[in-house]
């Protein structure tokens, strides 16, 4: 599974765990993260789940902190740091 699909599938798992619903038709690159259905607790959980599944957390790897606004930026972060994991 590529990273984007992995993120989408984990996203959906976290949605159901946090009793939330997707607020947009689908997760697109320009979907604003905090308006997509997950609240900040949901995002925190998503980042934590992804760390467990993918084996890295881009948020602790980046030198310059970035807080992504859109789903596209979020996916890009994971793609960027994919090769830097140990």
Partner 1 sequence: MRRIDRALTNFWDHIVAESERPLVVTAGEALYHSDFLRIRTGSEHVLLKLRGKAVAISGTDAELIHLLLLLDGTASSILLLPNDMQTDQKEEFFGQCGIEAEATLVGEELEVNKIPASSETLKLSDTKGGRTDWIIPTSGTSGTPKLVAHNLKSLTRTTKFNREVGRDIRWGLSYSISRFAGIQIMLQSLLSGSTLLVASPEASFSEKADFFATNHCNAISATPTFWRKLLMVNHESDLNLKVITLGGEIADQQILNALSKKYPEARITHIYASTEAGVGFAVRDHLEGFPAAFVRDGVEGAELKIEQDGTLRIKPHTANQKFISTDIDVDADGFIDTGDLVEEKSDRYVFLGRRSGSINVGGNKVMPEEVENLLLKSGLLKGVKVYGKANPIMGNLVSADVIPNSASQDQKILKKELKSYCSANIESFKRPAFFKVVSDFDLNASGKISRN
Residues that bind partner 1 (CB under 8 A): 16-19, 32-35, 39-41, 43-45, 47-49, 52, 57, 59-60, 64-69
Triad 49, 52, 53: Cα angle to 5°: 85
Of 40 and 86, nearer to partner 1 (C-beta) is: 40
Please report how close the Cβ of residue 41 comes to partner 1 at its closest, in angstroms. Answer: 6
Please report how close the Cβ of residue 2 comes to partner 1 at its closest, in angstroms. Answer: 23
Q: Report whether 45 contacts 69 (CB < 8 A).
A: no
Of 3 and 68, nearer to partner 1 (C-beta) is: 68
d(CA 21, CA 19): 7
Q: Report whether 39 contacts 20 (CB < 8 A).
A: yes
Q: Report whether 82 contacts 7 (CB < 8 A).
A: no
Of 5 and 44, nearer to partner 1 (C-beta) is: 44
Please report how close the Cβ of residue 42 comes to partner 1 at its closest, in angstroms. Answer: 9
């Amino acid at each position: 599974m590529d990273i984007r699909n992995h993120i989408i599938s984990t996203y959906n798992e976290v949605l159901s765990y946090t009793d939330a619903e997707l607020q947009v038709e689908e997760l697109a690159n320009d979907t604003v993260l905090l308006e997509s259905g997950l609240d900040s607790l949901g995002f925190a959980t998503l980042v934590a789940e992804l760390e467990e599944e993918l084996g890295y957390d881009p948020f602790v790897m980046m030198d310059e902190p970035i807080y992504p606004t859109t789903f596209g930026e979020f996916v890009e972060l994971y793609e960027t740091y994919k090769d830097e994991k140990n």
